[in-house]
């Protein structure tokens, strides 16, 4: 078990120190790794890190030196097990003290022993102070620019829960919901009760469905009459929206700047028995700047973004993303959408979407575009089943607090524009 805890602490240390995504590939370095335990420990520690950090602070009077990073996150993981995973106290304390001794020194091992013993002794009292903290100060500031305090608290609370597994099926959603013991949402989305062993589920090998959050599926759903229409799917990998477009009869050009991600798209299309007309590996800006082909009937721009809308699936985002990241992506988005507009035929539709919770990458981006581009009109979107996801302007803005009866959804923004000149 200590090897599993060591891998978990290494993943946490790397993520928080390098401001990078959680890298579970480190589990591959041990043939005996308990992947389920490691992932649960890492994800729970990351989700509850702000509360854990505050809880530990009352027992740590001095800031640990930079060289003690491993010890810092060993304490965080140990406290997580004591407070949230119901692991026996002796097993937690002994394991993490030995890990700190191995990676640091005897002094820090003794320090870790004292701190974890105090957490164990006072854990019932500590847990009474849990107010559902999740967001780091920079992430909270990012949201504070766009949402009222009460709504932020609800979003934060929703983020502490593991998100459900949603899939899109090609056809017969009622039948597949029954077969997979799931719940059908609008269109072809089904919420499944279990997210483990996805590839073992009926319909996976036969290519009848693919994993896709309901919010993400709404981008393609907003396009009508796609049969035989030429559609450009910008930033297409790993291919969920390409699959939707092809399933509805569109002739699709799928573009992405990552060959590795396009390889995943190809693998997904092979399993789904679908085939885009073209698969292009290119930077979206370069491709659009040099575009001289026949204009497209429709363009789907799932723009590069901060990714802050999927923090339930990637809880590290609330610790590594901030307002500066949003601003950088917003600048890039503005360039791409302006160029994409020129590759669209008159009367054509452009759907712009991002998996960002920040309005600078969504609502504000589109309002600026419409102000600066007179040849486009906003086409208001609607949802009879979930009217709460429609903004007064006619945008789709989903948040984790929406669709609570189905386990919530990712934060997503969608706008539909029509080229009128």
CB 248 within 8 A of CB 226: yes
CB 226 within 8 A of CB 250: yes
User: Are 220 and 363 within one domain?
Assistant: yes
Q: Is the pLDDT of residue 1 over 70?
A: no
Of residues 197 and 385, more confidence is placed in 385
User: Are 10 and 96 within one domain?
Assistant: yes
Of residues 333 and 374, more confidence is placed in 333
User: Are 268 and 357 within one domain?
Assistant: yes
Cα 316 from Cα 393, distance rounded (Å): 32
Cα 98 from Cα 103, distance rounded (Å): 9
Of 155, 181, 212, at which residue does a domain stop?
212
The pLDDT mean for the chain works out to 95
Q: Does 139 fall in a domain?
A: no
Of residues 390 and 64, more confidence is placed in 390
Q: How far is CA 110 from the centre of its chain?
A: 39
Contacts of 407 (CB under 8 A, 6+ apart): 161, 163, 164, 191
Position 173 scores a pLDDT of 96
Residue 228's SS3 state is: coil
Q: Is the pLDDT of residue 151 over 80?
A: yes
Q: Does 358 fall in a domain?
A: yes
Position 16 scores a pLDDT of 95
Question: HSE-up of 264 (CA within 13 Å, CB side)?
Answer: 11
Distances (CA, A) of 163 to 43, 166, 195, 394: 12, 9, 9, 26
Structure confidence at residue 192 as a pLDDT band (50, 70, 90): very high
pLDDT tens by residue, 332-359? 999 999 999 999 999 999 999 999 999 9
193: domain CATH number? 3.30.70.1170
Q: Does 150 fall in a domain?
A: no
Position 2 scores a pLDDT of 65
CA gyration radius for the chain? 23
pLDDT tens by residue, 2-37? 689 999 999 999 999 999 999 888 788 777 789 999
Cα 289 from Cα 297, distance rounded (Å): 18
User: Are 269 and 373 within one domain?
Assistant: yes
Least Cα distance to 75 among 63, 91, 58, 93 occurs for 93
pLDDT tens by residue, 199-235? 999 999 999 999 999 999 999 999 999 999 999 999 9
User: Are 262 and 369 within one domain?
Assistant: yes
Of 212, 242, 273, at which residue does a domain stop?
212
Q: Rounded mean pLDDT of 154-164? A: 92
Q: Rounded mean pLDDT of 138-165? A: 94
Q: Is the pLDDT of residue 393 over 80?
A: yes
User: Are 171 and 278 within one domain?
Assistant: no
Q: Rounded mean pLDDT of 294-313? A: 97
Q: Does 132 fall in a domain?
A: no
Q: Does 32 fall in a domain?
A: yes
User: Are 193 and 219 within one domain?
Assistant: no
- Domain count of the fold of the chain: 3
Q: Is the pLDDT of residue 64 over 90?
A: no
User: Are 258 and 396 within one domain?
Assistant: yes
Distances (CA, A) of 61 to 58, 72, 216, 340: 7, 13, 45, 55
User: Are 187 and 228 within one domain?
Assistant: no
Q: Rounded mean pLDDT of 165-174? A: 96
User: Are 223 and 361 within one domain?
Assistant: yes
Task: Tell me which residue range forms the domain holding 112.
Answer: 2-127
User: Are 270 and 389 within one domain?
Assistant: yes
Position 378 scores a pLDDT of 98
Helix (H) or strand (E) holding 414: strand 412-419
Least Cα distance to 269 among 299, 244, 302, 232 occurs for 244
Position 75 scores a pLDDT of 98
User: Are 197 and 308 within one domain?
Assistant: no
312: domain CATH number? 3.40.50.150
Q: Is the pLDDT of residue 375 over 80?
A: yes
Contacts of 386 (CB under 8 A, 6+ apart): 186, 402, 403
Poorest-confidence range of 17-26, 110-119, 133-142, 275-284?
17-26
């Amino acid at each position: 078990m200590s090897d599993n805890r060591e891998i978990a602490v290494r993943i946490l240390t790397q993520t928080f120190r390098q401001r990078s995504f959680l890298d579970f590939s480190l589990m591959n370095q041990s043939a005996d790794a308990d992947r389920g335990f490691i992932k649960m420990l890492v994800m729970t520690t990351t989700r509850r890190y702000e509360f854990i950090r505050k809880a530990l602070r009352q027992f740590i009077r001095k800031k640990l030196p930079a060289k003690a990073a491993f010890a810092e996150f060993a304490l965080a993981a140990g406290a997580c097990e004591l407070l949230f995973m119901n692991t026996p106290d002796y097993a937690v304390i002994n394991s993490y003290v030995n890990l700190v001794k191995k990676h640091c020194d005897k002094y820090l091992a003794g320090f870790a022993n004292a701190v974890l013993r105090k957490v164990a002794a006072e854990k019932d009292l500590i847990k009474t102070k849990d107010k559902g903290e999740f967001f780091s100060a920079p992430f909270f500031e990012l949201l504070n620019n766009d949402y009222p305090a009460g709504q932020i608290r609800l979003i934060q609370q929703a983020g502490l829960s593991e998100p459900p597994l949603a899939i899109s099926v090609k056809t017969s959603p009622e039948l597949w919901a029954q077969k997979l013991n799931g719940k059908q949402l609008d269109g072809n989305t089904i919420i499944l009760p279990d997210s483990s062993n996805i590839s073992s589920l009926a319909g996976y090998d036969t290519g009848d469905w693919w994993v896709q959050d309901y919010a993400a599926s709404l981008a393609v759903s907003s396009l009508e009459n796609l049969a035989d229409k030429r559609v450009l799917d910008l930033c297409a990998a790993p291919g969920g929206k390409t699959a939707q477009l092809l399933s509805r009869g569109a002739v699709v050009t799928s573009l992405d700047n990552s060959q590795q991600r396009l390889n995943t798209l190809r693998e997904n299309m092979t399993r789904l028995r679908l085939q885009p007309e073209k698969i292009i590996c290119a930077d979206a800006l370069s491709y659009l700047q040099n575009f001289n082909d026949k204009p497209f009937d429709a363009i789907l721009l799932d723009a590069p973004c901060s990714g802050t809308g999927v923090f339930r699936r990637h809880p590290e985002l609330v610790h590594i993303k901030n307002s500066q990241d949003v601003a950088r992506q917003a600048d890039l988005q503005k360039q791409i959408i302006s160029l994409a507009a020129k590759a669209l035929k008159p009367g054509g539709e452009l759907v712009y979407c991002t998996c960002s919770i920040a309005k600078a990458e969504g609502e504000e981006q589109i309002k600026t575009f419409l102000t600066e581009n007179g040849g486009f009109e906003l086409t208001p979107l609607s949802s009879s089943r979930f009217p709460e996801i429609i903004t007064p302007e006619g945008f789709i803005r989903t948040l984790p607090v929406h669709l609570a009866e189905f386990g919530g959804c990712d934060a997503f923004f969608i706008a539909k524009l029509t080229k009128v000149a």
